[in-house]
Amino acid sequence: MKHFLTLSKISVFLSVALVLGACSSDNNTEETKTVTFSFEVQADDQPLVFDDKKYLTPLNQLISFERINIYVSNVQLKGSSSGDLFIETDSYHLISFDAENGTANFEITNVPATLKVHEIILSIGVDTDANTSIDHVGDLDPTNGMAWDWNTGYKFLSLEGRYFDGDEPLGEEIKMHIGTDKNYYSRIFNVGEPVNLKEKDTFHFLVDGKAPFEHIDLSEGTVFMNDERGDEVAQNYRDGLIILQ
């Protein structure tokens, strides 16, 4: 009888331990959030109208837009406390705009819900390792129109439209295809008061469609690739292309 009671006590003890262990495991599971990054393309502080509407560049040259594609990569969320940092893995996102799509967005998952976001760090372009790799992670895909057809790697910015100078009604093709390691830039956006992700889980950005045209004289040519004029375009988009609202 004593032997039976001892086994019963052991059985009860193990049952309680399992329950407590399960509760402890549940308590240690960190709550996470999915955070949305939303982008709206604009020109002259208004939603950009593709194809039909004409705009003046900073040098008063008449243009229209057909499409804009941008690689946004290596997204990080920095907390208000020292050491609080969330880094997205395989962080490569293609945001695309045209006549049917004036907005674009992507999501990052498994962000600690307790993180109070103080800064957002993101890059325009694709870092060297990914740009020279044959592995296709995130939105890196050689079939999406952003891969070079003459070299390994990706275009960081692809902007296409028309330049109107003279009587030609169709204008002249504008082609800004910018890439290469030297034109990869990281930006730090201060969100102001730290953001509690339990209360706000979406960050809104504006994309200034006219930013790449700053100081650009289209009468000297309308095709911009990986040359000095392409580098000028990259300098323009480094600071003014994407703006946190």
Q: Cβ distance 211 to 48 under 8 Å? A: no
pLDDT for 83 equals 81
Better-scored residue on pLDDT, 204 or 17: 204
Better-scored residue on pLDDT, 237 or 74: 74
Percent of the chain with pLDDT over 70: 89
pLDDT for 5 equals 45
> Confidence band (pLDDT; 50, 70, 90) for 106?
very high
Average pLDDT over residues 51-73: 98
- Tell me the C-alpha distance between 119 and 244, whole Å: 11
> Confidence band (pLDDT; 50, 70, 90) for 24?
very low
What would the 3-class secondary structure string for the chain be?
A: CHHHHHHHHHHHHHHHHHHHHHHHHHHHCCCEEEEEEEEEEEECCEECCCCCCCEECCCCCEEEEEEEEEEEEEEEEEECCCCCEEECCCCEEEEEEECCECEEEEEEEEEECCCEEEEEEEEECCCHHHHCCCCCCCCCCCCCCCECCCCCCEEEEEEEEEEECCCCCCCEEEEEEEECHHHCEEEEEEEEEEEECCCCCEEEEEEECCHHHCCCCHHHCCEECCCHHHHHHHHHHHHHCEEEC
Q: 179-190: per-residue pLDDT in tens?
A: 999 999 999 999
pLDDT for 151 equals 79
Better-scored residue on pLDDT, 65 or 28: 65
**By C-alpha distance, which of 79, 68, 138 is closest to 103?**
68
Average pLDDT over residues 61-80: 97
For the cut 80, the answer to whether the pLDDT of residue 44 exceeds it is yes
pTM of the model: 0.86
Q: 136-154: per-residue pLDDT in tens?
A: 899 999 999 999 987 789 9
- Tell me the C-alpha distance between 210 and 214, whole Å: 7
- Mean pLDDT for all residues in the chain: 89
pLDDT for 15 equals 45
Greatest Cα pair distance in the chain: 108
